[in-house]
Chains A and B, each alone.
Chain A
Amino acid sequence: MGDLQIGIGGAAGDGLDKAGDTLAKTASRLGLYVSAYNSYQSVIRGGHIWLRVRLGQEKVYSHGDHLNVLIALNQDSIERHAPEVVSGGVVMFNSDKLKCNIALREGVTQAPLPIGALTKPFGPMQPVMQNTVALGALLFLGGLEFDVIAEVLGETFAHKGKPVVDQNVNLARAGYDYAKANFKPLAVKWNFTRKRRPFLTGNEAFAISAVAAGCRFYSAYPMTPASAILHWMATHAERCGVVVKQGEDELAVANMAIGAGYAGVRSMCGTSGGGFALMTEAIGLAGMIEAPVVIVEVQRGGPSTGIPTKTEQADLNQVYGASQGDFPRVIIAPSDVADCYASTVEAFNLADKYQLPVILISDLLLSEHPETIEPDEMPAEVPIDRGALVTSWDTAKGRYKRYAFTKDGVSPRALPGTANTIHVAPSDDHDEEGVLISDIFTNTALRRKISEKRMKKMDTLMKDLPAPKLEGPSDAEVTLISWGSSRGVVHEAIALLAAAGVRANQLHFKYLLPFHAREAKEILSRAKRTICIEANATGQFARHLRAETGFSVSDHYLKYDGEPFEPLQIVDRVRAILAGRAHSLDVTQEEASEIAYHYVRVHLGEDLRPGRLEKAAGNGAGEQIWRIEIVNRDSGEKRGELRVGVETGSTHSWQAIA
């Protein structure tokens, strides 16, 4: 089965993202499945960019866990990522500027590209040209047919005119031909069906699904990693008939969306954790006045401003606890790009039917990584259920009661502009008609019944939500519990575990509130051993699971370094847990190198880099240390030694060679 994992590394501003798009689109049009991840930083230029693109003959569920090809556009990328290339793989780099002078794994070959000579015929050298040459070479190495990239480049550069298009096609061709003449292709076989499939990010799926579901109002304040929803909406607003409002802050954004929802349009707003914090009071308002609204919360690394361009699943406590008081809310965590599409349709229907806020909780990985999905996973026609709407009222039936106490908790809704249904929607607690029962009119009986009416909606809507299911062998020795974006990567890890003789199954949660406590408990009570896998430091979901079911998971795999889970990492951790090996929080060799990179960048400048590392006795540091040689980037000559604590990660000392 064809599976090719490619890494592209360079400096921000090198145009890597565009190169990645071109590659992904080309492969996608050949009929392959693609999943990509851009490990970018919040800087416009400079810094290290690390892009992962994985191609598969069959559906791929993550960006993978190793490299078959590395395209290195700066020296850092060679040093950091060349060791990840597995046997049979290739390290490709611009040999005019870069050297691959580090140890590679066995069976890995170098593919140096003389970029200057290759680009010379096509005009003055610009740094981005090397991307196109490298892509051309990669097509040959990866066994991909050339014609499609010409088509993709034609579309990408159409706005710059034919000369630029031709130049890029020629550059790619030069790379392809050079590789053909000088390198051996990788051992990968493809069947190019050339079936066209949508290739999109989670954020694009949220936006397109919203317009398909009839969203007519979208409000947002710019915040990574949710901004792409705003950008898509703004770009397509006119074509799709959506009013897109950038608010002055998330307070405005949420309250505007709720106002629009109250007035009868399907409305949505989007943000990340910090913005969501500002929205919380409004979410309680939506619960109280029973206004439908959909809120997309795209998590990034917290707390506070946190790691704005990195992924995490640590806002769960926040979405559960958002706003004071008890009120009904729905929380859905889509699991992949196609599920972002499906979940958004569901969210609008639930919001309308049950007149409450629905929170779609995503994360940077899910929202920003692009993935190939099947065309029928994003249908144009989606089910729309607007719930009980009163469009006319016969006063002979008596007074219209906006918050009528009903058995299922749902009170038929009348929109402003309707005759004979005039009422106030109050944030103070109120009776059936919307008249306040707060302050001087406080009425304990009415307060009890209105509260019960609102909360009853949670029981009623439960029947609309499919229960979680155990996937994989029922007699597995371990059950991996996941939620949100980690469904796919855990699924892949389970296949790898099976190949290694470990029988594992998966219990994945999408509907976080209301929670299928009974069903979850029943499944978990039969599990031999459970590991909850989530991208946060405190096991927020495991805690919620315990609160809802009384079930405590046996073990956790918590990741809070900002990078998404990879299949092999899960395999390794699961095997370690099953073998009873304690998990060490010590700084690994790779981590010591990264700590050294940071120190070098902050204090020593760009012409140095970490070299050899070794673990040594503490020597006064009170712990074992990593002794890290710091060398000249070009010559490799030693310039000093950095000492980093193995346990604490602290930079204890830097000693320059005089």
Chain B
Amino acid sequence: MKNKFRLMILTSLFSILVGGFSSTVQDTWAHESRLYNIGNKDYWITVGSIGEPVYVDDKSGAEAFIRTADPSNPLDRNANGTKMIEGLEKDLKFEVSAGDKKKIFEIEPAFDDPGHYEAFFYPTIETTYNYRLFGTINNVTVNFDFQCQTTEGEGNQDNSTKQISEGVVQKAQRGGFGCITSRTEVSFPEPYVSNNELVGMLNQTKVNSTSN
């Protein structure tokens, strides 16, 4: 009886620990955060896709959360001393690329969420997306590349320092964000056919009817 009680306590503790760890991983997972020193000031820039997990043809886009780091604890992006930066929508843009296609999107400040910027688009194909955030922060030209990850995991955990460009130094990196995936696995009851696939099928039908 005593053993059973001990086992129950241990199982509960284990579940709580695993659960807590899992939620942390999930939190880390959704976006990629990097600590930059831009013009002698530390910034946490977090980038990912809007509304993850994102499926093909969903309304989504690229989003960025920009805040200054806590001077007392710069490596913790959630420390109390961080401060969200507003008004960067005029200075920054997103260039989204997939395959050999590229498109520049204006960013807009999210409603009632200071320091949060969004660039909406509809992803039409399942592939690797690159988000290039470029413009000026703290009067320094910046150019940051973020790429979605097709494989999950613990994401990036990097505290090494590297010079990115003049006046810009990367000091840390955390997590990653997932790529846009097909709706195939989550469509029900009929399999989902994406708009792009439909276009392909129509083109094929056109080719077949022409050749006949």
Asked if A and B are interacting partners, one says no
